[in-house]
A and B are shown apart, each in its own frame.
Chain A
Amino acid sequence: MSVVFIRAVILYVLLIFTVRLMGKRQIGELQPSELAITILISNIATLPVEDTGLPLFTGVIPIITLAALDVIMSWLGMKSRLIRRFVCGKPVIVIKDGKLDQKSMRSIRFTTDDLIESLRSQNIFDISEVQFAVVETTGKLSVYQKFKNRNVTNEDMLLKGKDEDPPDIIISDGELITETMDRLCVTRQWVENTLKKEKTTVKNVFIMTVSPDKKYSVIKKEI
């Protein structure tokens, strides 16, 4: 039993390493090939845990090989459009000039149900509101609505404002995040002085956020 336990621990660490190597992506953002590789890796990982007669390396080698090949293919895809096309495919336009392209839909086996479902998930319940729609390589539908149905923007309203980054966390559960402090050009002294005004200290702060123009918000610890 201890063998299974130790193997499970080793594979857990290996899988974390593998996922980190493959990079940050959500399941919905994965290319079909990446999704297949992820499923394959999870299946292979179970083999040496289930069967202690198999050497651990029988599981480890294919896992890291697949992850490494995935990284290499992504890198090659960045270098060559041809490889990118081969690995990821290309986006397919299914609605153009407000008209449905049935031929394209058939070629990618995208059913009317798929289309309506994808539109509904973007709060579009009437297909006539769509000017242009593309099925991305991940299978997601990107939609551009007709002018009369598009949301009003600040620009449409002629509202004035500055383009700036959102506030970011500089204290999390009593700990200073130096990385964010450096990015926002905030010194430890400034943080301490600010907290003094709030009659608290770094240790007693649950969350503190600061915006690029030094506007801040402090939430103190309750427990």
Chain B
Amino acid sequence: MSRVVTAFSIIAAIIAYSFLAAFIIRNESSELISITDEIKDLNKINDAVNADAAAEKLTEQWYDFEKKMSIFIRDDKLNELSRSVSKVRPYITDANDELNAELENIDRQLWLIYRSELPTWYNIF
């Protein structure tokens, strides 16, 4: 009987873990997305100094996110995002036109990571 109790406990723990993973990813992603939105707004008004400060914050936050998320997410997805995040500061400094596209790319990839954790029909099948 102890085996059955252990088995049920394991299933319960895994279900809880899955929801927790989705919750943590959503929370952490929305923090990053709010920073990218801030950078977009600052870029619109050509405030490069504050945009750079926000980009620095984004990079720091990203390292934290990457460390936490490596438990749940494949390396290749995180590496792709890492490359995009690393481009933000140089783009601000050079006033590169592709900054907005890169920020959109970060937003989109974060959303895709979150979506991949949801038990939807699309993900399961």
A-side residues, CB < 8 A to B, are 21, 23, 52-58, 61, 64-65, 67-69, 71-72, 75
- Asked if residues A55 and B11 are in contact (CB atoms below 8 Å), the reply is no
Q: What is the CA–CA distance of A213 and B77 in the complex, to the nearest angstrom?
A: 69
Most chain B beta-carbon contacts within 10 A, residue among A55, A57, A65: A55
**Total residues of chain B contacting the partner, CB 8 A:** 16
A55: B residues at CB distance < 8 A:
70-74
- Asked if residues A54 and B4 are in contact (CB atoms below 8 Å), the reply is no
With A21-B3, A55-B70 as known contacts, state yes or no: A65 contacts B75, CB within 8 Å.
Answer: no
A25–chain B nearest beta-carbon distance, Å: 13
Q: Which A-chain residue is minimally distant from B1 (CB atoms)?
A: A75
B8: A residues at CB distance < 8 A:
68, 72
Q: Which A-chain residue is minimally distant from B78 (CB atoms)?
A: A53
A19–chain B nearest beta-carbon distance, Å: 12
With A54-B75, A55-B74 as known contacts, state yes or no: A65 contacts B14, CB within 8 Å.
Answer: yes
Q: What is the CA–CA distance of A57 and B72 in the complex, to the nearest angstrom?
A: 7
Q: What is the CA–CA distance of A110 and B20 in the complex, to the nearest angstrom?
A: 49
Q: What is the CA–CA distance of A69 and B71 in the complex, to the nearest angstrom?
A: 24
Closest 9 CB pairs of A and B: A53-B75, A71-B7, A68-B7, A68-B10, A75-B4, A72-B7, A68-B11, A71-B3, A64-B10
Q: Which A-chain residue is minimally distant from B13 (CB atoms)?
A: A64
The answer to whether the Cβ of B76 comes within 8 Å of any Cβ in the partner chain is: yes
- Asked if residues B76 and A67 are in contact (CB atoms below 8 Å), the reply is no
- Asked if residues A57 and B10 are in contact (CB atoms below 8 Å), the reply is no
Q: Which B-chain residue is minimally distant from A61 (CB atoms)?
A: B14
Q: What is the CA–CA distance of A68 and B3 in the complex, to the nearest angstrom?
A: 9
A58: B residues at CB distance < 8 A:
74
Q: What is the CA–CA distance of A71 and B9 in the complex, to the nearest angstrom?
A: 12
A160–chain B nearest beta-carbon distance, Å: 41
Q: What is the CA–CA distance of A71 and B70 in the complex, to the nearest angstrom?
A: 30
A52: B residues at CB distance < 8 A:
75
Q: What is the CA–CA distance of A61 and B7 in the complex, to the nearest angstrom?
A: 13
Contacting A at CB under 8 A, from B30-54, are none
Digitize B75-108: 1 where CB-to-A-CB distance is under 8 Å, 0 elsewhere. 1100000000000000000000000000000000
The answer to whether the Cβ of B120 comes within 8 Å of any Cβ in the partner chain is: no
- Asked if residues B73 and A21 are in contact (CB atoms below 8 Å), the reply is no
The answer to whether the Cβ of B6 comes within 8 Å of any Cβ in the partner chain is: yes
Contacting A at CB under 8 A, from B8-36, are 8, 10-11, 14, 17
B11–chain A nearest beta-carbon distance, Å: 5
Q: What is the CA–CA distance of A67 and B11 in the complex, to the nearest angstrom?
A: 10
A20–chain B nearest beta-carbon distance, Å: 9
A71: B residues at CB distance < 8 A:
3-4, 6-7
Q: Which B-chain residue is minimally distant from A64 (CB atoms)?
A: B10
Cross-chain contact of A64 among B3, B4, B14, B72 (Cβ < 8 A): B14
B2–chain A nearest beta-carbon distance, Å: 10
Q: List 22 A-B contacts (CB under 8 A).
A: A21-B7, A52-B75, A53-B75, A53-B76, A54-B74, A55-B70, A55-B71, A55-B73, A57-B71, A64-B10, A64-B14, A65-B10, A67-B7, A67-B10, A68-B6, A68-B8, A68-B10, A69-B7, A71-B4, A72-B7, A72-B11, A75-B4
Cross-chain contact of B11 among A23, A54, A69 (Cβ < 8 A): A69
